[in-house]
Amino acid sequence: MSKQGAFDLAFGVGGKIGKDDVLSAVDKYEKYHGYYGGEAAERKNNYTDMVNKYYDLCTSFYEYGWGESFHFAPRWIGESLQESMKRHEHFLALQLGLKPGQKVLDVGCGIGGPLREIARFSSTSVTGLNNNEYQITRGQVLNRKVGLDQTCNFVKGDFMKMPFPDNSFDAVYAIEATCHAPDPVGCYKEIYRVLKPGQCFAVYEWCMTDSYNPNNEEQKRIKEEIELGNGLPEIRSTQQCLEAAKKAGFEVVWDKDLAEDSPVSWYMPLDTSHFSLSSFRLTAVGRLFTRNLVSALEYVGLAPKGSQRVQAFLEKAAEGLVGGAKKGIFTPMYFFLVRKPISDSQ
């Protein structure tokens, strides 16, 4: 696992956005969100711009704090954060029944941490679909470093309009990525289209649980904090996601909120009451260090203006995630496995 250093963080903020344009990009990004008075309809209508701005602005922070895989995981007592994340990725491969030589699609692949782990674990060829040029560039560099550039690749494209022929893949998965879709039915229909008949799609979705009350102002604020800090058009309920998969044509194999039975809370790395040397950068002390570091780097001109604002809305996201988890109204790991009927040969 590679982790970015301080200067990698500073130079990476903004991604493909020009350094002089980062501050205005932060302004525009923030205004999309309900926390600053924005509307869900505008985020959905402009999801490509919003999500691209988010990942251009935030990817270097993610890589600095998390490494190559940007997701949560259920965790056993005595298990490190990185071990739990790898196991979470292996679980998807096992649920999909991946076999050596199969062609697999990772929808919304980030910089490819899970893609590389699953490819090595299952001896498959994994294609990562991503609409963010900066993340693809980082992923290609990391693939070359571990010798996977000949068997795994990245394709730039929108998961609402995938650039693949029908029935292209033996399996498809998404890890905390399709939550960025403006319309889950449309997104799942595209996944259905490119998946071979009789094969499966497995996903971890970010969802509000049945306990969420949209009329409760505190819970609504928590939801808005999560949307702001994670580039989401609107967080859907678990039922909405499963129904969307059915409407797309899938048969449900099984589903479960994997956060419910986690012996160690998935949000523990973000909880300010928790301290860990192995994930120091995510702790309260580590985040204070990063905040001061970013402030100093921005002050001397090594990080672009607006970097502190990015750090601030990511902090707000952490507060929302922990608050939502403790109230039982949010999960980042609603899992379902669905199958495309073998009778559908399109």
Cα(205)–Cα(65) distance, integer angstroms: 21
Give one word for 331, left, alpha or beta, with left for phi > 0 and alpha for psi -120 to 50: beta
For residue 116 the two structure tokens come to 């590389």
pLDDT at 1 (0 to 100): 47
pLDDT at 277 (0 to 100): 46
pLDDT tens, the chain, 346 aa long: 455 666 677 677 888 888 899 999 999 999 999 889 999 999 999 999 999 999 999 999 899 888 999 999 999 999 999 999 999 999 999 999 999 999 999 999 999 999 999 999 999 999 999 999 999 999 999 999 999 999 999 999 999 999 999 999 999 999 999 999 999 999 999 999 999 999 999 999 999 999 999 999 999 999 999 999 999 999 999 999 999 999 999 999 999 999 999 999 999 988 877 655 455 555 666 677 778 888 888 878 878 898 899 988 888 899 999 999 999 999 999 999 999 999 875 5
Instruction: Output the domain CATH number for residue 61.
Output: 3.40.50.150
Cα(229)–Cα(261) distance, integer angstroms: 26
Q: Is residue 180 part of a domain?
A: yes
**How many domains are there within the chain?**
1
Among 334, 322, 310, 319, which residue's Cα sits nearest to residue 58? 310
pTM over 0.85: yes
Residue 74 identity (one-letter amino acid):
P
Identify the sign of the CA torsion 5, 6, 11, 15.
Answer: positive
For residue 319 the two structure tokens come to 């507060």
> What 3-state class would DSSP assign to 66?
helix
Q: Is residue 346 part of a domain?
A: no
C-alpha distances in Å from residue 131, one per residue of 1, 26, 32, 52, 205: 24, 19, 19, 7, 19
Residue 223 identity (one-letter amino acid):
K
Contact, 142 vs 2, CB < 8 A?
yes
Q: Is residue 185 part of a domain?
A: yes
pLDDT at 279 (0 to 100): 55
Domain that holds residue 4: 1-341
8-state DSSP, 229: H
Cα(112)–Cα(241) distance, integer angstroms: 24
pLDDT at 236 (0 to 100): 98
Cα(146)–Cα(316) distance, integer angstroms: 34
Cα(68)–Cα(32) distance, integer angstroms: 27
Q: Is residue 50 part of a domain?
A: yes
